Amino acid sequence: MAAPVSITAAKKQLRSLVRTSIKSLSPSDLSAQSSATALHLLQTPSFQTASSIALFISMPTGEICTRSLLTAALAANKTVYIPRVGVDFKNPSMDFIKLDVPSVDVIYDDWPRNKWSIPEPPETTELTVAYTDPEDTIDLIVLPGVAFDNVGGRLGQGKGYYDRYIAGLLAPRPTLIGIALTCQLQGDHELPMSADDVVLDGVASPDGVNMTRSP
């Protein structure tokens, strides 16, 4: 069911405002905030106890950087999964594939890039997809987003990839933690949410980690 027009319009307006704020950040500020956010997330029990983690590879500009998180997860011997989209653009869907590289340098130096300049595994790479085997599950999903609030609300880019993917998972659900720059935090102002928008367990930012639900 399509979201009410009022919610759709509110989401569109908020996306525009937050994206403008992100674009105003200097590269050094974005880098510092990304590093601080990563440090806070790495110190959470959710990260430390997770055997498998889903992390996104960030765009080169206009988004919180996840390179240090990927580096730390591999160094901690976590099983890391990264999202894959665009297998079928007529029926947009997303899955997570297991990351099998000796270091993140391979990702950023050797992998081809898609139309958003995000590195993707070469087509010749043999891929393992999460949840195709009982052992290939995910304990923690780290989610991107445009905006977040203090009660687990998340405003995504508008395509619904994460919402549909998470809705399709069987119990137990992975812990869901968003990562945000300071300008993406909306505080106590609840975001415009549709019925099918996923609610997070927490949000990590340069200010710390706000766990809103018990995973």
* Domain span holding position 119: 5-211
CA distance 71 to 58: 13
CATH number at residue 71: 3.40.50.10420
Closest CA to 214 of 171, 152, 162, 166: 152
Residue 174 near residue 141 (C-beta atoms within 8 A):
yes
CA distance 55 to 57: 7
Full-model pTM: 0.92
CA distance 43 to 209: 9
Tokens of 199: 């609610």
Residues 9-54 have pLDDT tens digits of 999 999 999 999 999 999 999 999 999 999 999 999 999 999 999 9
Q: How many domains does the chain have?
A: 1
Name the pLDDT band for 61 (thresholds 50, 70, 90): confident
